[in-house]
Every structure is written in structure tokens, then in C-alpha cells.
Amino acid sequence: MALRRTFFALLASAALASCNMTGQTAPQAPWAQFAQSTIDGWLKIDPNFAVYQGAHQYDGKMADWSPAGLKARGDFLRKVVSDAGAYTAVSGKDKFERDYMVQVAKGQLFWLEVADQPHTNPAWYVGAFDPNVYLAREYAPRLQRAAALATFLEGVPAAATAIKGNLKGAIAEPLVIYGTSAFTGYADFYAKDVLTAFADVKDDALQARLSTAAAKASAAMADLSTWLKGQQGADAAFALGSDKFAQMLDDTEAVNMPLADLEKVGEADLKRNQDALTAACAQFAPGASVPACMAKMNAHKPADNPVAEATRQIPMLTQFIKTKDLVTIPGTEQALVRQSPPYNAQNGAYIDPPGPLEKGIPSIYYIAAPDPAWPKEKQDAYIPGVDDLMFTSVHEVMPGHFLQFLHANRAPSVFGRMFVGYAFAEGWAHYSEEMMWEAGLGDGDPEVHIGQLSNALLRDCRFLSAIRLHTAGMTIAQSVQFFQTACFQDAGTAEQQARRGAYDPAYLNYTLGKLMIRKLRADWTATHGGREGWKAFHDAFLEYGGPPIPLVRQAMMGEDKPKAVF
């Protein structure tokens, strides 16, 4: 899943004023009032985040990326940490929500100021240019959405100019490759598909406005892509370094442990899955090497195409969950399958779920086609085998992200509905893959197991590559080789995944979250029915929304402080 990293700015709220007119300290607002006013401020200051939550009064608006705007974000986040932390008398659910809010603010501060991504990493900006909410979500009449899209496109040139002013110094090659690919994709998309999407809207003035805005936005993205290519530095570094990497884990996911110990956790899971793959291959392809076994599994391609195959898989997976009674499926929302738009083709598969403020809108599960510039053999290898794809559908839809967001959008905590963290979301989705195999998906068929293990090994290599790329001097070429030899990924996938590790150092969160959830399940169900307690565990876990998993563990296990346990 492509998670949207959001950053927040200054909140001006009379309810939070430190002094009243007499000079005396104002009484502290009730926690619920403070939490809601803070959320309202985030929606106002970060319009891209607001729109994706379903607050469409902010449609078309772009964030403030000026130096003053970036400073205001940092000031706001520090104020959230201090003001929320001042609620020392809260207890129960309010205390949990307070700790959740503080952790989110600390995590956003890390990316904003410690990692300094606005000045170093073009990936920080990419998601904000995505117009998909106006195109794919039928939240309003087409005329209204077309007008919002026109406003959005009219803001793109100024936003592109701000990026060029913010990115400083030479930028490492994998970050440039990602940025230029995304911005070029936007340029093409704005020039063609955006106009086609609303060609039937009967408003000549609006059509002229859209045409002009799309042309200017496309030109701005093309110019930004060209400019970014010129910023590439042969010796430019992307690594965070050990101290910042450890702080990233602590600030964003409340995981505080020595990196050497964390690396051992990843190595142990890699070996566990390698051993399981060896055993499954001995059944599926006796006498063949593991790479040959993987090739045999991946040679079983969809009869038509991955989008059609995934569309068939979703109802089957849904029925399996119901039959096995694994987790509650709330609501009647749907997940539709589509091919990824060109600006996001680097992401092999992802889901775009509606925000908690939307009503009755389907999620869209996107699957990328291979790069047409690749040789045919590489393109063919990139298309997943049927069973590999099935566990991608598990991950993205049932019971992964789609189901998780059905729960999150109904969470008792308003804050939990809005802010779903990286390790919680990706950890749950990745956990779901292995859980479904354990629950009997595939009836023990070794080919199905190999499909599940292929996905597990991919995430193990992400885990270890992230640590080594950012703290141990691993090169992109070495990471590519690692994905191929240790995790048996094809050349195209290995190259894509290695580069992602440079611009997304937190992509270890898939395995990180999965392992924390598995351990929490084992510890919680030990006193709640064992295997029969899985559904109760899943429902209880998902009810929290999406906080750092150590906070959930603390609440579910009644522990005195949050901690990462594997």
C-alpha cells in the first residue's frame, strides 16, 4: 500500500490560548475538545491530508511549502507534543489517545526536521500531486469534482517552484530516479487522462479552464522532472546513518532497541521463511533448485491479466474469511481493481481507501503493469504468478488494508480514524498473508505456500536492506543482489525494491509490524482462548485505528509502558 505521509502546520485556536484577558492561566480544555480542535487545525493547515480524509471543503487547495510554511509545521508539531503532554490527569481511552497523538506528532517532526526530507528527498512531495481523489472517488457530482480538479491543477506550478527552492544540494541517484519518474508520470497524466476523465461535463467555461490548467500543470511537472535530473550527484548520499535511523524507529513507531538486535530479528525471520520455502519446494518441484522452484510458481500466470485475476480472487478471499470466522467484516463497502496510473507505476500494487469522512465510496486496488521500456523477458517476469498475486490481494484487500481501513474508519477514537501509522497498516496487511495460510488458505498446497513465502521473503529483504542501506554502507547494487539471491526476487522487482529502500527508509515496517503483531497475538490469546481467540484478537487490535503497535500492546496486555516485543 502506498501510505500518504502527512505533515502538519500551525494551529491558531482560542481554546488553546495560554492566557486570558486578565493575565491568568486559562483552564485546560476538556481532552475531547482539545483533540477535536487539534484535528480541525490539521485539516485546515494540510489540505491534501484533509481531502483524502474526506473533508472536501478543502478541495483543490495545496499545502504551503514556503520556508515560513515549513517552519509553521514544525512549530505546530512541537506545540502538539507539549500541549497534549500537559494533559497529565487523563486516563483510560483519553490517555491512550493522548499518547497516540504525541507519538504521531513526534514522527512527523522526525521526517520534517531531523531527516529534513523537504530539503533532501523529492519523495516527500510526490503524493501531494496525485489527483486521483477527484477522478476516482464519486463523492460529489462530476461538475463539482471537475471544478475542484481545475483549482488543484492551477496550484501545481507554484508548488513545483517551491520544490525547486527547497531541495538543496546534490541528490542521490535512486531519489532522483523516483522523483523524475513520478513527476514525468504526472506530466503525462495531466496532459492526457485528466482531461479525458471529465470530457463529458457540459460546461464550456470549465472545460476551457481545465484545459489551460492541465497544460500548465503538465509543463510544470515536466520542467520539475528535467530540473531534478540536473541535481543528481554521483557521490550524493541518501543514508540516514545509525543515529537518525534509530531515532526514526523510536519517533515514528515507538520501537527503541539496539539496531544490531533488530537486525538479528530480521535475519531470524529471513531464515525461517527460507527454510519454509526450501521445504515447500521439495514438495512442489522435487530436485529443483529454489530459484527454479520459484520460477515454476511464477510461470503459472493469470489466464488473462493480473487485474482480472485479482478481481476474481477478492470474493473467494472474502468467503474464506467468513467461513473460517477470522475477523469481523464491517459495512458493505467494496474494493474495485484497476491498473495503476502511470505516475504511480513504480508501486507494484497498492490500495486507495476512502477516508473516514467519506460515505459509501469504494476503495480502489491498483496493480501496476511492467515498465514498457524493459525487455520482454523482464516484463514477463514482473507479472506475478497466480498464487503470488493471491497473497498480494490478501495484503491489499482481504483481510489486509481494505478490511483494516473498514475498521479504522469506524474506530471509537476520532484520532484513530484519521491517523493510521506505517507499521500498523503494513504490519497488519503483511501479517494477514501468513495468518491466512495458517488458517488453511490453499488447503496445504505447496504452490500456494510458495506464493505466500515469496511475499514474506520480499519483506524480509526490505527489512534488512533498510537497516544496511542506511546504517552499514550497503550499496544499491548490493541490495539488488540481496533481493535476488537471499529472497529469490526477479531482476525487475529487485531493482525496484532496492531503490525504494533509499527514498523510503521506513519500508522495514512491513516485517517489523508483522512480527510485533504475531507476538502480541501469541501473548494475548494465551489467556483468551488460544487459536479460538484469533477473531477476538483481530477485532480488538483493529479497533484502535492505527497507532504505533507498542502502544496497542501496552493497552491490550495491561503493561506499564509501551515496548516493542518480537
DSSP 103-154: HHHHHHHIIIIIS-HHHH-THHHHGGG--HHHHH--SS-HHHHHHHHHHHHH
Q: What is the rounded average pLDDT for all residues in the chain?
A: 92
Q: How far from chain centre, in Å, is Cα 33?
A: 29
Mean pLDDT of 66-77: 95
Q: Is the pLDDT of residue 27 over 90?
A: no
pLDDT digits (tens, 9 = 90+) for 472-525: 999 999 999 999 999 999 888 899 999 999 999 999 999 999 999 999 999 999
pLDDT score, position 26: 61
Cis preceding linkage at 399, omega within 30: yes
Say what percent of the chain tops pLDDT 70: 95
Q: Is the pLDDT of residue 19 over 60?
A: no
pLDDT score, position 346: 66
Give 124 or 5, the one with higher predicted confidence.
124
pLDDT digits (tens, 9 = 90+) for 317-336: 999 999 999 999 999 999 99
Mean pLDDT of 146-162: 98
Mean pLDDT of 231-248: 96
Mean pLDDT of 24-47: 87
Give 286 or 168, the one with higher predicted confidence.
286
Mean pLDDT of 300-313: 93
pLDDT digits (tens, 9 = 90+) for 167-219: 988 999 999 999 999 999 999 999 988 888 899 999 999 999 999 999 999 99
pLDDT score, position 25: 52
Say what percent of the chain tops pLDDT 90: 84
Query: Rounded CA gap, 517 and 547, in Å?
Result: 12
Mean pLDDT of 235-253: 97
pLDDT score, position 510: 98
Number of separate helices (H) and strands (E) present in the chain: 26, 3
Model confidence at 381, in pLDDT bands (50, 70, 90)? confident
Mean pLDDT of 69-98: 96
For the chain, which residues make up each domain, given as ranges? 14-229, 248-329+376-557
Query: Rounded CA gap, 68 and 311, in Å?
Result: 46
Residue 531: exposure state from Cβ atoms within 10 A (0-12, 13-18, ≥19): exposed
Terminal-residue alpha carbon distance, the chain = 23
Model confidence at 451, in pLDDT bands (50, 70, 90)? very high
